[in-house]
Structure 1
Amino acid sequence: MNMLEVKHLRVWDANEGKEIIHDSSFQLKEGTCLAIVGESGSGKSLTCRSIIRLHKPWIRQSGEIIFQGEHLNHLSERDMRKRRGKHIGMIMQNGMGAFDPSSVVGVHFQETLKEHFGWSKGEAEASMKKAMESVMLSHPMEIMNKFPHQLSGGMLQRLMIALTLVLEPAVVIADEPTTALDTISQFEVVEQFIQLRERMGGSMIFVSHDLGVVKKIADEVLVMRNGDIVESGNVEEVFTAPQHPYTQYLVSTRLELSHHFNKIMNGGV
């Protein structure tokens, strides 16, 4: 069964009259992780934002987005807000941008959980405390009383994963969640995403330009270039025997980086 179907998605800039995504179609199967890869500007993030209709005012889209049989493009903005977070969770690239800088992070959790579940402050705090501990965040009550700028990028990403665990959406969209992190934090956050999938058993779209991370977490992959899907299929098959020249380029570049890294780690041998 498909959790999500995207049919003939087009996205364009109404100010410039420029088409950014041209006629994209793909499916997300139940219980699987679909990765979207490609270089900056390929349309990966815009594709994710199109699914939950979170565009800047001048960005337009057409096509069909079907979630669990429901046509999202026919919903009002009010109904769409109810689907975001509770049914389709989005974990942003920049953790800082997901929180109100003028409030401590605990307020964000309380407001979100009150809106979706009608929970009191105490109920929200108790659930978040448990979820934060499960993603290896110690002293959760202390963290909830901090402002976003007082926390590291890795901590903010873990907080978003913890909130996702509480909301339990059917689909999680993670838009380059490790890009702004250092190598150690990247590794730890990827491990948390793998555990998130195991715990929730849900479906995930994972956007990244890091093929090593994609190989570790995803079942299927879409390769995007300049707003087009140029290749798709099983991760192992696409990375082992890429068909499109652009995918071949991405895979070979990744292998060269891996060889270079291994060479350094082995003392230049």
Structure 2
Amino acid sequence: MNILDVVNLNIWDVQTGKGIVYSSSFQLKQGSCLAIVGESGSGKSVTCRAIMRLTAPSLRQSGDILFKGNNLTRLSEKEMRKKRGRNLCMILQNGMSAFVPSRVVGAHLKETLAEHFGWSQYESERKMKYAMESVLLTHPADVMNKYPHQLSGGMLQRIMIALALVLEPDIIIADEPTTALDTISQFEVVEQLIKLREQMGCSMILVSHDLGIVKKIADHVLVMRNGNIIEKGTVQAIFSEAQHEYTKYLVSTKAALSNHFKKVMGEEQLC
């Protein structure tokens, strides 16, 4: 059963008339993880923002986005706001952009939970503290009293994951969640995303250029290039039986980098 059906999605810039995404159609199965991969500018992130109806003011979109059979494109902005966070939760590439810089992060978290659940400040704080501890954030009360610039990128990503744990959305959209992080933080965030799926049984859309992460998390893969979907299939099919030359190039490049890394690490261990 599909929890999300994207049908004939087109996105274009009204100022230039330039197309960005062309007749894109795909499905997200209940409880599965769909990875969207491709080079920068292929249309991955803007597709995710279109699902959330958060595209830039200069962009327009057409097509249907069906969430549990309901067409999100026909909802008013007020109705869509109720869906964001509670049903569709987005973890952004840059954690800093998810929070208001002039307010402590706890204020944002409590406001979001009050909007969707009507909880008291005490109840929201209690639930957030528990969720933050579960994603390995120590001293959650102190963390919530800090401003975004006082926290690392990895901590901000884990705070967003903790918020998702409390919101329990139907779909989590993770847009390049590890790009701005160091290697150790990348590993921790990937582990937390896997744990999030296991705990909640939610569906997930993962945008990533890192095929190693895709292979570890995703069930199905969508390959985009220049605004077009050029190939889609299971993780196994994409990594071992890719049909399109561009997909084969992406997979072979990842394999070459991985082999080089292993070779370098092996030589260092011998020294």
The two structures have a TM-score, normalised by structure 2, of 0.98
Deviation at 1:34, TM superposition (A): 0.3
- Is the partner of 1:267 in helix, strand or coil? helix
Per the alignment, residue 204 of structure 1 pairs with 204
Per the alignment, residue 68 of structure 1 pairs with 68
CA distance in 2, matches of 1:22, 1:93: 23
CA distance in 2, matches of 1:93, 1:59: 20
**CA deviation vs aligned residue, 1:121-176 (integer Å, no higher than 9, x gap):** 10110000000000000000000000000000000000000000000000000000
CA distance in 1, matches of 2:181, 2:128: 23
The residue type paired with residue 209 of structure 1 is H
Per the alignment, residue 256 of structure 1 pairs with 256
- Is the partner of 1:28 in helix, strand or coil? strand
Deviation at 1:55, TM superposition (A): 1.0
Q: Which blocks of at least 5 consecutive residues in structure 2 are unaligned?
A: none
The residue type paired with residue 67 of structure 2 is F
CA distance in 1, matches of 2:171, 2:244: 29
Q: Which blocks of at least 5 consecutive residues in structure 1 are unaligned?
A: none
- 2:113 is the alignment partner of 1:96: no
The two structures have a TM-score, normalised by structure 1, of 0.99
- Is the partner of 1:229 in helix, strand or coil? strand
CA distance in 2, matches of 1:89, 1:190: 17
- 2:84 is the alignment partner of 1:84: yes
Give the alignment of 1:183-194 within 5 angstroms.
Answer: 183-194=183-194
CA distance in 2, matches of 1:212, 1:58: 34
CA distance in 2, matches of 1:14, 1:249: 33
CA distance in 2, matches of 1:224, 1:235: 15
CA distance in 1, matches of 2:92, 2:60: 20
Per the alignment, residue 21 of structure 2 pairs with 21
The residue type paired with residue 207 of structure 1 is V
Deviation at 1:204, TM superposition (A): 0.3
CA distance in 2, matches of 1:16, 1:197: 40
CA distance in 2, matches of 1:135, 1:165: 9
- Is the partner of 1:137 in helix, strand or coil? coil
- Is the partner of 1:93 in helix, strand or coil? coil
CA distance in 1, matches of 2:22, 2:164: 31
Aligned residues: 269
User: Where does structure 1 differ by over 2 angstroms across 4 or more consecutive aligned residues?
Assistant: none
The residue type paired with residue 120 of structure 2 is S
CA distance in 1, matches of 2:81, 2:183: 34
- Is the partner of 1:266 in helix, strand or coil? helix
The residue type paired with residue 122 of structure 1 is Y
Per the alignment, residue 158 of structure 1 pairs with 158
The residue type paired with residue 226 of structure 2 is N
Per the alignment, residue 10 of structure 2 pairs with 10
Per the alignment, residue 232 of structure 1 pairs with 232
